[in-house]
Structure 1
Amino acid sequence: MTHAYIPDQMPEAPAVIENITFDELCIGQSAQRRRALTQDDIEAFAAVSGDTNPAHLDPAYADGTPFHGVIAHGMWAGALISAVLGTQLPGPGTIYLEQNLRFVRPVHVGDALTVTVTVLSKEPEKKRVELDCTVSNQHGDTVVFGVALVLAPTLKVRRPGATVPRLLLEEAAGRLEG
């Protein structure tokens, strides 16, 4: 079985995308993005990452784990952080240098995550910016947190928004059903 996968929480591509340069960034400045996890998200992430851990893909197996059901790949939340850094704060032209993450709660299908990225410090000589990164669920519980270090853009970037291609997910023969 093949079906198109288009995340239903993906915001429409903005007509224009614009960064915030190093000089424009202020300590305490923040940006947010919200996204709910779907089973298709888990399957697409497994397909592109190669992480086929049964905790993410096999409901019968996952029900017997301490999380009592299928959970998201931890790095799916990390990818949401990357999306905020690369498209919002600082935005286009940002170079991701470093990230530490602590995974404190599982994310289940249907959980709505809010990613908040906040400027903690700026290093003028190297144009580096340290950002607090927090991912919380619909109950306000933190599920992932950490600190990112990026090389912030120094030149203004203003470009047409990108439209991402549609993914087609195809059921694998002999796949476990739950």
Structure 2
Amino acid sequence: MIQKGIKLGKKVDELSTGERLHLIEKIEDKDLLLYLGLTNDSNPLYIQHDYAAETPYKKPIVPVIMLNGIITSAISKHIPGPGSRIIEQSLMYTEPVYHYETINIVLEVQHINISQNIVDIHVYATNEEEQSVLEGIIKVMPPV
């Protein structure tokens, strides 16, 4: 059902190269528990402190699909916004993200192809120590 009053996101000709969105996200237990409940992912590295202590990570890490969810949600809500569709993504996870960490995420319009209605959005994120935790490109079709 389409709700009245919901405005479509920006069309391809309304975006500009260099346009940015900055997000700050803190990863909480409730987020992890929701993910685990929805996906039935039972990897002990994500939630069991005793297990994670025996790994090179030393403590539980955040599943990368949760990070993807934060990014795709930002694309759907803000840049380009409602009505947009991700058609391709290439993301590299350079460092693990740990429970309770705050991450800074930047989405930046890198390239606009008006004739094909495709926008390349460069995504990068850093942790509290300003280390890169992810970087990549997401190709998006803005609403028409």
Shorter-chain TM-score above 0.5? yes
Q: What are the residue-to-residue correspondences of 1:103-118 with 2, within 5 Å? A: 103-118=93-108
Please point out which of 5, 13, 16 is paired with 1:26: 16
Deviations 1:108-150 (A, max 9, x none): 1111112211011111111000110112112221101110001
Check conservation: 2:127, 2:133, Cα contact below 8 A.
yes
- Do the aligned partners of 1:55 and 1:70 also contact (CA within 8 Å) in 2? yes
The 1:103/1:42 distance shift into structure 2, 3 A limit, reads same
SS for the counterpart of 1:61 is helix
Q: How many residues align?
A: 140
Identity, % of aligned positions:
21
1:101 aligned residue: 91
Alignment partner for residue 147 of structure 1, among 106, 125, 137?
A: 137
Partner in structure 2 of residue 92 of structure 1: 82
Q: Is 1:103–1:145's contact at 8 Å kept on the other side of the alignment?
A: yes
* 1:111-130 paired onto structure 2 within 5 Å: 111-130=101-120
Give distance in 1, aligned partners of 2:38 and 2:88.
22
Return the offset for 1:51.
1.7
- For the residue of structure 2 that corresponds to 1:70, the secondary structure is coil
Note the alpha carbon deviations across 1:32-60, whole angstroms, 9 max, x for none.
22110112211111111222111002111
Rounded Cα–Cα distance in structure 1 between residues aligned with 2:6 and 2:118: 25
Q: Is the counterpart of residue 83 in structure 1 residue 66 in structure 2?
A: no
The question of whether the paired residues in 1 share the 8 Å contact of 2:46 and 2:62 is answered with: yes
* Cα deviation code 1:4-40 (max 9, x no counterpart): xxxxxxxxxxx97662221110011111221101122
Q: Is the 8 A contact 1:77 1:135 kept in 2?
A: no
Q: For residues 17 and 109 of structure 1, what CA distance do their matches in structure 2 show?
A: 35
> What is the root-mean-square deviation in Å for CA atoms of aligned residues?
1.6
What is the distance in 1 between the residues matched to 2:66 and 2:56?
A: 20
In 2, the alpha carbon distance for the partners of 1:141 and 1:16 equals 37
CA distance in 1, matches of 2:47, 2:28: 12
Could you tell me which residue of structure 1 aligns to residue 28 of structure 2? Answer: 38
Asked if 1:47 is matched to 2:37, the reply is yes
Displacement of 1:62 after TM fit?
0.6
TM-score scaled to structure 2, two decimals? 0.90
- Equivalent pair of 1:20/1:90 in contact (CA under 8 Å): yes
